[in-house]
Structure 1
């Protein structure tokens, strides 16, 4: 059993009705078509990848101009090291899988840049990135607009050096297998594609 397409519809409706009254009226639907199926998916993936954390549906609005109380997606993450992990999400856009470095601290940013500047580890990351992009995986993340301080803008790995986070992701929309027992196998296959990137990040950012 996968994730019902009604989960996609749920978030499309939530985007138009992001208030407590609508949420209260639809909370049992959220449990049935979003939370419980996502938990089942994570449970099926746990033996190979580890235990996942499902994110809470409520937004932290304390420091945001947007006071909408509820997130318009449901995500889950399996951490492999601090700030690095596998990710899966359902929203009004459908299913998204991802993996990488999403929660940086200054020490990690410095370690990441040193590793990318190193010819051996930097070339390894460039090769991983090229392999992922060749398989239709998008590399995203927070990036500097220019070169990091002290780095030659003409450096052959400048695009990687500009990253302050680095994530591989694929938007699957509403695939034929979303609602089926095949869901866990499909997500697992995608996460395995991301594994070389996570292993590179784990080895260099978690020291």
Structure 2
């Protein structure tokens, strides 16, 4: 099995080029570099993290699904994967590489209706204060979509309205890749980010859990 050897300084330039020229011609001409220096190395990083934390890895396709999108650009401008079923959380832990750098995070993304019901019930209860504290203690950025206003049944001036408006609870951070990222730094960054998010993930696993809706996952 290939071990993670880091990302070189050409990664940012390759993705910046794809952003400027998102065409099959650009991708085909530079595919060998993508496969060896980007995709294979991200897969190796996920495998190394799986050895450390347990769980199953998945690397997603670079091609975009354009069937129902007005944007017909054929390729994603980031390469990403997840680790699921790890010792930190059964939910997916996320890692990606792009022109912006190496990004790592975790949480519940775009919660299904049944998850949102459980989440909001917990936020307004005693557990809500604990979630706020855990998020603040991570030192990570909080990402994800929020409603423009209060969800139905909740006052706009509710003391926990920011949490109630969230449709996702995800946290993470980014490491620049401009001059490259060596193997030790990259591994430590992703593992450290995931470990920092673990208290929030445990809260979500306890109070929200996976969806029971068909065809959806947490």
Check conservation: 1:80, 1:202, Cα contact below 8 A.
Answer: no
Which of these residues, 1, 5, 10, is aligned with residue 6 of structure 1? 10
User: Residues 56 and 111 from structure 1, CA distance in 2 versus in 1: closer, same or farther, beyond 3 angstroms?
Assistant: same
Residue 175 of structure 1 deviates from its aligned partner by: 7.4
Give the TM-score, by structure 1 length: 0.90
Which 5+ residue runs of structure 2 have no aligned equivalent? Answer: 211-218
2: CA distance, partners of 1:159 / 1:83: 26
Give the TM-score, by structure 2 length: 0.86
What is the number of residues matched between the two proteins? 203
Check conservation: 1:83, 1:103, Cα contact below 8 A.
Answer: no
1:88 is the counterpart of 2:95: yes
Matched residue, 1:124: 130
Which 5+ residue runs of structure 1 have no aligned equivalent? Answer: none
User: Residues 123 and 56 from structure 1, CA distance in 2 versus in 1: closer, same or farther, beyond 3 angstroms?
Assistant: same
Matched residue, 2:156: 153
Check conservation: 1:83, 1:102, Cα contact below 8 A.
Answer: no
User: Residues 180 and 80 from structure 1, CA distance in 2 versus in 1: closer, same or farther, beyond 3 angstroms?
Assistant: closer
Residue 110 of structure 1 deviates from its aligned partner by: 1.0
Task: For residue 78 of structure 1, give the secondary structure of its aligned residue in structure 2.
Answer: strand
1:154-179 deviation per Cα after TM superposition (whole angstroms, max 9, x unaligned): 22211111001111021222277713
RMSD (CA atoms): 2.0
**How do 1:169-184 and structure 2 match up within 5 A?**
169-174=172-177, 178-184=181-187
2: CA distance, partners of 1:24 / 1:9: 16
Check conservation: 1:83, 1:104, Cα contact below 8 A.
Answer: no
